[in-house]
Amino acid sequence: MGVRGLASLIPVSAGSSVEWRDGNGPAVVVDGTALIYHAFRHGGCRWAAVHWPDFERVFSGYLQVLQKACASILVILDGATTHLKMSTMMERSQAKIQLARRVLQGGLESEQSNSILPLCTLEVVLDILSRLHIEFRVCLDDADVEIARASVAHTSTIIGEDSDFFVLPNAGYAPLQQLFFDNKALAATATVYTREAVAAFLCVPPHALPLVGALCINDYTTDTLNPFYATRKMSVIQMVCEFVRSHADASVPTLASRVLATMGLTPAARRFADITSLITKVISLYRLESTPLAEQQLSFPSSFVTQLQSTPRVFDVIIHRCYLGSPLVEQSRPASIWMHLQPLLALLCALALVRWHKDVCGGDG
């Protein structure tokens, strides 16, 4: 969800249309989870009857275009969700469970069920990334903050589909919905939004954009700040931007106390401490000042990928059964067949030992 209503509010004219080809594009950091959903939604795959070679063709096509057109590419994927987003994710999980039930009963078409990923999707994607020699990371937390951190650290343009990227610190954001891949020419046309352009449209200083994201309705605050918006005579985003213009340089404790004062809460109120703590944490996240699991991510540099090619993987058996027709089956077959032969060889050895024992002992005992 990100910042509710922000993506539809910012016009395409606030971004710059650019063409990436022959390596003239910038370094990019890709929201891998968003690219997976994008591939499914544009690949015509059904959740209940996914054809993995079709998915691989679409997903690999995107990556190969970016490899050819951009200076470098880093893919970062989501992991477990931070506790701050637990209520939001619980709602989404419940909705997905109901949706999956209807899909399995044959009640929905693929275009209505494309918020659900098939089993083994992550394993298939990791194999595709390794075979294309693309550096990737799998976070143990939500990936948005780590993607923004990588964008700032490497001056990389973010490719994703989350309105949080309009307000998180970054070196440019190219939404997937406005990114067009030319597989034949191995080029891409993107609309890139800079922080300065987004801030100018919202009439706030660029350094105040994280405050806008933190104080609007988002995955972290959900409905906690509803009393803050209750007296508005304009949209939530407009009200927050107006508030931020007056408090752009305030300290976080001062900002939190003024938000709660607007909500009618005083330090003596029962929920004052809890809401203050939440606001402080969310602002810190949007400013990239606090990342609970920043150091706990699995990082796979491109130099590691060649080792991964020849290493039997934990999910070989699973992929072997569900990924027929893919090069992965050919790569994994030697390891998988040996794994399946081991019990048979052990049984044959045991029978040979029993027979030898009978021959030596004359058939007794």
**SS3 letters for 106-122?**
CCCCHHHCCCCCCCCHH
What's the whole-model pTM score?
0.74
Which residues, other chains included, contact 226 with Cβ-Cβ below 8 Å and sequence gap of 6+?
none
What is the per-residue pLDDT across 30-42, written as a single tens digit (0 to 9) for each?
999 999 989 888 7
Mean pLDDT along residues 300-314: 43
Q: How far apart are CA 43 and CA 53, in angstroms?
A: 11
Q: Is pLDDT at 209 greater than 90 in this prediction? A: yes
Q: How confident is the model at residue 20 (pLDDT cuts 50, 70, 90)?
A: very high
Q: Is pLDDT at 335 greater than 90 in this prediction? A: no
- Neighbour-count burial of 154, counting CB atoms closer than 10 A to its CB (0-12 exposed, 13-18 middle, 19+ buried): middle
Who has greater pLDDT, 54 or 245? 245
Mean pLDDT along residues 127-145: 90
Q: Where are the alpha helices (DSSP H) in the chain?
A: 6-9, 32-43, 52-69, 86-104, 121-131, 144-154, 164-167, 195-202, 209-215, 226-229, 236-247, 252-262, 272-286, 302-309, 316-322, 327-361
Q: Quick one: pLDDT at residue 66?
A: 97
Q: Is pLDDT at 309 greater than 50 in this prediction? A: no
Mean pLDDT along residues 293-316: 44
Q: Quick one: pLDDT at residue 152?
A: 96
Q: Quick one: pLDDT at residue 331?
A: 38
**End-to-end C-alpha distance for the chain, whole angstroms:** 71
Size (the chain), residues: 365
Which residues, other chains included, contact 66 with Cβ-Cβ below 8 Å and sequence gap of 6+?
20, 25, 28, 30, 73, 159, 188
The closest of 303, 297, 4, 18 to 157, measured between CA atoms, is 18
Q: How confident is the model at residue 265 (pLDDT cuts 50, 70, 90)?
A: confident
The strand order across the sheet containing 135-139 reads: 173-175, 157-160, 25-31, 70-77, 135-139, 297-300
DSSP state of 58: H
Q: Quick one: pLDDT at residue 343?
A: 61
Q: Is pLDDT at 306 greater than 50 in this prediction? A: no
Q: Quick one: pLDDT at residue 301?
A: 52
The closest of 73, 60, 16 to 183, measured between CA atoms, is 60
The closest of 126, 172, 129 to 148, measured between CA atoms, is 172
Largest CA distance in the chain: 99
SS3 category, 193: strand
Q: Is pLDDT at 321 greater than 70 in this prediction? A: no
Least confident of 29-43, 80-94, 170-184, 292-306: 292-306
Average pLDDT of the residues of the chain: 79
Mean pLDDT along residues 311-333: 38
The closest of 121, 145, 126 to 136, measured between CA atoms, is 126
What is the per-residue pLDDT across 210-236, written as a single tens digit (0 to 9) for each?
999 999 988 888 788 888 888 677 889
